[in-house]
Structure 1
Amino acid sequence: MAPYCSHQIASPAFARPLPPPDVEEELRRVVHVVESLDRGSAEMWLLRMLRHARIREIGLDWTFYCTLQRPGSNDEEARALGAKVIHSPVPLGRTLAFVHALRQELRCGKYHVLHCHHDLVSAVYLLAAMGLPIRRRIVHVHNADEVVPTASLFKQRLYREPMRKLCMTMADRVVANSNHTLDIFLAGRSRRRAVDIVHYMGIDASRFERARGDRLAFRRELGLGEEALILLFAGRMVPEKNPVYAVDVLSQMRRLHPAVIGVFVGSGGLDGDVRKRVTELRLDTAVRYLGWRDDVPEIMCCSDWFILPHPEHPVEGFGFAIIEAQLAGLRMLLSRGILDDPLLPTASFRRLALAAGPEQWAHAAMELLSNQVPSRAAALDALRESPMNMDRALKGLLGLHT
């Protein structure tokens, strides 16, 4: 296993120490172009960084420019933390009108940094900024699926490479959340020193440090016996997370150990498919659906396994939930669509091919169960020494804006 590679994220900008909060200097006005301040992993990460900067008394002048017109569930928190939140007056699908509206905001806001968080689609935002006196233009790649937002496969193929070329030529930094994600985006090109950069996102461990992990109370809450063993799926119920496969694995696990219960935290377009499969396999009494919860660290600390059967092509860009599962002391069942970047040296996991089938996944789960319970303390220590440590990650993020 080759976990995070800290030498691959170093650059001269990252070597500069953060100024102490009492140093007077002009705050860099940064505009982050995001989809919406909801539960997206990139947006939640940015909010964590904003919150951590406030804790560390580091002043930031951030604006979130949201491409969706509707309010996000975290808009008010961002504003309470001192950020501005702006919603595009027109949808991204009306490209010319969208570009015009964004350009107007970029001109009026007099931003120093344009930080785009939409992978290939960031090309549209760079076009809006063409010719404006913006000091730093960043394309931040969070996924390896290279989505072009059109239903037409022909248009996806037609636009993908021109959009990539625009990003490569118009941005002065291309940043990715893992080595694999960066290499996919570069599409065979060599990395440019101090331009093409891996920046690991900061993981806030404080909620896991505080988590009580009252296994008995959690099982009572779910109407389970204290002997229940919990297989946890936590995340969006969408094809790229493959939750239906998790149901099939659960079915096989119960054949080996009838005390296994499936807990699904999250929601999404495959909610109905998951419930249908549960009914087909007669697992209704062995599954609990919790929807979105704010106490995921507590739930994780009360579970036994974490499962993420991500499709193998394209692979997961990065996995916040994988890091969190390790901090909770969970054994992990992962597909080959999960790479090494989010794995700490203390990880207890099995990585299997989806083609191996749910039965083999179930046997792997039982083998993990026979091993010693992973140490939460050891995982927390490993995180503190990693690039995903909050202080290091914040320093790296601010270094990108210099």
Structure 2
Amino acid sequence: MLRIIHIVENLDKGAVENWLVNIFLSSRKTRPDWHWTFYCILGKEGRLDEKVREAGGEIIYSPVNISNKISFLRHLRSVLKNGSYDIMHAHHDYLSGFYLLASARMRFKKRILQIHNTDKALPVGNRFLHQMLLGPFRRLGFYFSDLIVGISKDTLVEFTGERKLKRPKFEVLYYGIDLRRFEENANPAEFRSNLGIPEHGKILLFVGRMNELKNPVYIIDILAALLKSRNDVYGVFVGKGDQEAIITKKAAELGIANHIRLLGWHDNISGIMKNADVFVFPRNEFPREGLGLVIVEAQAAGLPMFITKGIVQDAIVLNELAFYTDLSDPFKWSEKISGVLNNGVPISRKEALSKMKQSKFELNIATGNFVNLYES
């Protein structure tokens, strides 16, 4: 039996927490005696809480805001001490160095720092303070961790500065997803009808946070370029963020507001992807995506993907679905997209799903790798 504590934001809509809860649920099949605790630093409930408790997991909400640094560390330290944990697993990149400080002079089988992003984010709200703290937090992470894990090679290299990532200190651990969701039959006609899109309309799909880094507003430029040569294309956006209003405003200014649909967050991403025609993700090229779980999901759905070099190579399993383009000209995107809409790709959706089920991202395979991380 192992006692494990994960330090996370809260168990809500974040990609990290969704992946982690899926791994937790999957691991119950082979390691039902492991005790999992999720320490939520935001101190509030999330939509995944009930699912975790039903499966026997424990959730602890921090009663102290992280801005109150000393009191926060004291509470976390008391939880670590009273819980007698074997594994401490922190999921906040640079900030994890701060969390690991709470474990000083305690014994663990392993203390793991996991890097999920390449953007060097710290929630301090001050650029000068941000730059000042990156180095110390990184050093704390190195000093107090037994293992540093990245969700891709790029995330590890970005955090460590190391080009030769040697075991046992460094490890790449890929996300896993439940691919059974992608076996469900699509119903394109009904899906389009529900969105007020013509039955034969072509859907350009974006899924993710609507922020400047993900760059969803660029899709409006691509859509406008496409509409100069064809009128059957529609942009469907799944997610929320500060770019929503900009997208709506720009579409109206260009006279194409009737060709976009904003759906907000949605639980049935696999169903939406199965009914779309292409996936468009024009992320800024720097900093790069840590991995891009939606990229993995798009491949499982058999969607042609129009992406930038902001997507790391680790995320690509099916090269025949990946179309790279820079952000210099939306007409380049429109030409490539129109070509695929007209001619298709050399792999069927059924074949794509079959290949993804054999990949490192299949949930059972990923869970086995996760379990091995703790037991090795």
Mapped partners of 2:218, 2:319: distance in 1: 26
State the partner residue of 2:60: 86
8 Å contact 2:3–2:86 — kept in the other structure?
A: yes
Mapped partners of 1:190, 1:169: distance in 2: 19
State the partner residue of 1:147: 121
Answer yes or no: is 1:361 the counterpart of 2:299.
no
State the partner residue of 1:218: 191
State the partner residue of 1:17: none
CA shift for structure 1 position 91: 1.2
Aligned length: 374
Aligned pairs (5 A) from 1:168-247: 168-188=142-162, 190-209=164-183, 211-247=184-220
Q: Map Cα deviations across residues 132-171 of structure 1 (whole Å, 9 max, x no partner).
A: 1222100000000111222222212211112111111210
Gapped runs of 5+ residues in structure 1?
1-26
State the partner residue of 1:372: 344
8 Å contact 1:143–1:181 — kept in the other structure?
A: yes
Identify the match of residue 342 of structure 1 among 315, 318, 321: 315
CA shift for structure 1 position 58: 3.9
CA shift for structure 1 position 336: 1.5
8 Å contact 1:37–1:74 — kept in the other structure?
A: yes
CA shift for structure 1 position 203: 1.6
Answer yes or no: is 1:282 the counterpart of 2:282.
no
Aligned pairs (5 A) from 1:129-140: 129-140=103-114
State the partner residue of 1:123: 97
CA shift for structure 1 position 370: 3.4
Identify the match of residue 72 of structure 1 among 25, 41, 46: 46
State the partner residue of 1:259: 232
Mapped partners of 2:30, 2:167: distance in 1: 30
* TM-score normalised to structure 1 length: 0.90
Gapped runs of 5+ residues in structure 2?
none
Mapped partners of 1:119, 1:361: distance in 2: 33
Q: Map Cα deviations across residues 61-111 of structure 1 (whole Å, 9 max, x no partner).
A: 101000102211211111112111111111111111110110010011111
State the partner residue of 1:5: none
Whichever residue aligns with residue 186 of structure 1, its letter is: T
SS in 1 for 2:223: helix
8 Å contact 1:331–1:348 — kept in the other structure?
A: yes
CA shift for structure 1 position 56: 5.1
Q: Mean Cα displacement is larger for which, 223-232 or 341-350?
A: 341-350
State the partner residue of 1:4: none
8 Å contact 2:302–2:353 — kept in the other structure?
A: no
CA shift for structure 1 position 55: 4.6
User: Structure 1 residues 206, 56: CA separation in 2 closer, same or farther (over 3 Å shift)?
Assistant: farther
Q: Mean Cα displacement is larger for which, 135-144 or 380-389?
A: 380-389
8 Å contact 1:349–1:368 — kept in the other structure?
A: no
State the partner residue of 1:325: 298
Q: Mean Cα displacement is larger for which, 299-308 or 343-352?
A: 343-352
Q: Map Cα deviations across residues 256-286 of structure 1 (whole Å, 9 max, x no partner).
A: 2210011111112222122111212112111
Higher relative contact order (CA 8 A, sep 6+): 1
8 Å contact 1:53–1:59 — kept in the other structure?
A: no
Aligned pairs (5 A) from 1:6-17: none
8 Å contact 2:4–2:37 — kept in the other structure?
A: yes
8 Å contact 1:253–1:260 — kept in the other structure?
A: yes
* Percent pairwise identity: 36
* TM-score normalised to structure 2 length: 0.96
Aligned pairs (5 A) from 1:19-34: 27-34=1-8
Q: Which of structure 1's runs of 4+ aligned residues deviate more than 6 A? A: none
CA shift for structure 1 position 234: 1.2
Whichever residue aligns with residue 302 of structure 1, its letter is: N
Whichever residue aligns with residue 149 of structure 2, its letter is: V
